């Protein structure tokens, strides 16, 4: 054996010994660790909802496996600890909470589905060996990827299990949650906010099972400017509210600023939703002309001391207003004063071209020193979409107390 080959072999041996020692001492990752073997398959499984309507969820079948249990699983447990990770087609990373009976996993089909109770968070999912019961939030259409991770060695065991959901919703909201509680972006990251005043958190029991925040006219929330709060195309504002009274002007939610100018004010609004007495009012600034417009329901459509589900939809430049799932008639106005400058010529009715700005989103009052128009009452679940919700989706939300 030549001296050169001998030297090469010695270097390889030293490197190999070093790798083994490093693995033993550091334990991350461990090349000596014996990981668990799991052979599995994911696919869309159809379950029947109340009323007989079918719905797809992710089914996850363990074909073959050595003993293992999921992180967070309650006893009895056996074998290696495995983390289940789910990646949705909309970019969300989910870690379903296990609700599983004891015993071997091999040969069992598990169901992965959203926790659909009114107080659950947007990214709260469940993995269970029992088919889901009751009404579920729909899955996003597309490919759902299931990954299994050996937590001891921090090794990816399986990453090729994919379920193709073909029936569900096209997308979730860009932002939403509960005022004063958890507010999230689509990717499950938290959307921060500041609380002004002393709004009081509450919970509406069955059948709503919804958390809410009570505003007394001196409270409001402020969400910092964020890409998920900016809209220049399609938009849906979806929210539940219970106004204390309906005899004043009240801003519910909006992104913009009103500043004094001479004897008047300057408006710079991306979008703003109000209650004007018993009517729903929506205003915006045109991003091309800076002209200020508003639409307002023709009839009284909201009442005091009652929970109502309100939707403002902009799709392809055309608006719609829904209250409790019912489409409402409305008129266009070219002004920032409710009911002034009615547009009567159909050819002058504008397409809605929302104008972006850098201001925070406020909930509970208008961003204005002169005319804050504070809201008094409760605001429950809310969500902001970059698309128009369909009538079917709005009806589904209304019937299930979601936004």
DSSP characters over 333-351: ESSSSTT-SB---GGGPPP
**Three-class secondary structure of residue 165 per DSSP:** strand
Which residues, 6 or more positions from 345, have their beta carbon under 8 angstroms from its beta carbon?
none
DSSP 106: T
At 36 the pLDDT is 87
On whether the CB atoms of residues 56 and 112 are closer than 8 A, the answer is no
CA dihedral for 320, 323, 328, 331, sign (positive or negative): negative
**Three-class secondary structure of residue 23 per DSSP:** helix
On whether the CB atoms of residues 18 and 11 are closer than 8 A, the answer is no
pLDDT tens-place values along the chain, 403 residues long: 566 666 665 655 656 555 555 554 544 444 455 788 999 999 999 998 877 888 899 999 999 999 999 999 999 898 999 999 999 998 889 999 999 987 889 999 999 999 877 556 778 899 999 999 887 888 999 999 999 999 988 888 887 899 999 988 888 899 999 998 889 898 888 999 999 999 999 999 989 989 999 999 999 999 999 999 999 999 999 999 999 999 989 999 999 999 988 878 899 999 999 999 999 999 999 999 999 999 999 999 999 999 999 999 999 999 999 999 999 999 999 999 999 999 999 999 999 999 999 999 999 999 999 999 999 999 999 999 999 999 999 998 998 888 9
Which residues, 6 or more positions from 163, have their beta carbon under 8 angstroms from its beta carbon?
42, 43, 44, 58, 59, 60, 143, 144, 146
Domains of the chain: 38-165 (no CATH), 175-400 (2.60.120.200)
On whether the CB atoms of residues 341 and 335 are closer than 8 A, the answer is yes
At 101 the pLDDT is 84
Alpha carbon distance 332, 152 (integer Å) = 62
Alpha carbon distance 41, 163 (integer Å) = 9
Distances, alpha carbon 219 to alpha carbons 177, 195, 273, in Å = 18, 8, 17
DSSP characters over 255-285: EEEEEEETTEEEEEEEEEEEEETTEEEEEEE
On whether the CB atoms of residues 240 and 212 are closer than 8 A, the answer is yes
DSSP 299: S
Bridge partners (DSSP) of residue 142 are 165
At 30 the pLDDT is 44
**Nearest residue to 379 via CA among 230, 282, 275:** 275
């Amino acid at each position: 054996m030549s001296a050169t080959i001998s030297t090469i072999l010695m270097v390889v041996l030293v490197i190999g010994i070093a790798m083994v020692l490093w693995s033993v001492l550091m334990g991350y990752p461990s090349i000596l660790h014996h990981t668990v073997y799991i052979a599995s398959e994911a696919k869309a499984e159809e379950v029947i909802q109340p009323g007989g309507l079918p719905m797809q969820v992710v089914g996850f079948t363990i074909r073959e496996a050595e003993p293992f249990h999921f992180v967070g699983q309650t006893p009895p447990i056996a074998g290696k600890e495995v983390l289940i990770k789910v990646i949705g087609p909309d970019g969300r990373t989910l870690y379903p909470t296990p609700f599983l009976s004891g015993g071997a996993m091999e040969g069992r089909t598990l169901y992965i589905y959203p926790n659909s109770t009114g107080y659950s968070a947007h990214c709260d999912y469940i993995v269970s060996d029992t088919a889901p019961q009751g009404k579920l939030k729909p899955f996003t259409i597309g490919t759902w990827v299931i990954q299994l991770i050996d937590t001891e060695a921090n090794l990816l065991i399986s990453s090729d299990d994919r379920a193709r959901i073909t029936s569900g919703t096209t997308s979730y909201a860009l932002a939403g949650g509960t005022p004063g509680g958890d507010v999230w972006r689509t990717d499950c990251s938290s959307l921060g906010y500041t609380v002004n005043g002393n709004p009081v958190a509450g919970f509406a029991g069955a059948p709503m099972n919804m958390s809410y925040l009570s505003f007394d006219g001196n409270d409001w929330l402020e969400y910092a400017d964020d890409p998920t709060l900016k809209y220049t195309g399609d938009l849906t504002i979806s929210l539940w509210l219970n106004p204390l009274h309906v005899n004043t002007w009240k801003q519910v939610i909006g992104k913009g600023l009103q500043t004094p100018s001479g004897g008047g004010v300057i408006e710079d609004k991306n979008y703003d939703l109000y209650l004007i007495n018993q009517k729903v009012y929506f205003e915006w600034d045109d991003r091309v002309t800076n002209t200020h417009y508003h639409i307002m329901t023709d009839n009284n459509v909201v009442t005091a001391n009652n929970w109502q589900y309100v939707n403002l939809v902009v799709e392809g430049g055309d608006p719609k207003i829904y209250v409790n799932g019912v489409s409402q008639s409305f008129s266009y106005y070219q002004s920032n004063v409710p009911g002034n400058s009615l547009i009567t010529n159909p050819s002058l009715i504008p397409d809605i071209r929302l104008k972006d700005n850098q201001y925070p989103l406020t909930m509970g009052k208008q961003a204005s020193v002169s005319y804050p128009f504070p809201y008094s009452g409760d605001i429950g679940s809310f969500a902001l979409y970059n698309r128009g919700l369909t009538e079917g989706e709005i009806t589904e939300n209304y019937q299930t107390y979601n936004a």
